[in-house]
A = this chain, B = another copy of it.
């Protein structure tokens, strides 16, 4: 499940770029579930084995196609996975650590904008949710992650929008501790509290 370290991504850069372009086009058109490595290889005009050689699993290829400066699964596995107690705080701290990094933020903003564009719904629903969010919920021992993790996402995305996209006070001005103090209880409720 972990992404290949960059150092091991050898091979023809044109071939890699063609595979990534085909992957983005296929994932956008058919969603994550409806896309096969074989169909991406066909669209890129390469052998499926070459796709696996360059990118690993379909999950890995999906994350690579997001063109994020960090692999969200690696960040989550290192900083968020652990007991359910305190999970809301760990999740927020990992998220703020990545988003508050000025090197990383522009690519994340671009991803949020893609999400809201027509067609971006499949990117979230059939890609980011099953590849990143649900495995994270399972790794934290969340009960019924398919129901709880979207609720977590509904609060996290709103914090991201107010703090980083529209940059509204007070969220845009608060330090990480204030954001964590405000939202960790909400996330803990969604992760482990009673569901309606």
Q: Chain B residues with Cβ under 8 A from A125's Cβ?
A: 166-169
> What is the size, in residues, of chain A's interface with B at 8 Å between Cβ atoms?
39
The yes or no answer to A151 lying at the interface (CB within 8 A) is yes
The yes or no answer to A115 lying at the interface (CB within 8 A) is yes
**B121 contacts A112, C-beta separation under 8 Å:** no
**A178 contacts B196, C-beta separation under 8 Å:** yes
Q: Chain B residues with Cβ under 8 A from A115's Cβ?
A: 161, 165-166
Contact A169:B155 (CB < 8 A) given known A116-B161, A182-B196? no
State the Cβ distance, A11 to closest chain B Cβ, in Å: 34
A63 to B76, CA, bound (A): 41
State the Cβ distance, A136 to closest chain B Cβ, in Å: 15
Q: Chain B residues with Cβ under 8 A from A195's Cβ?
A: 182
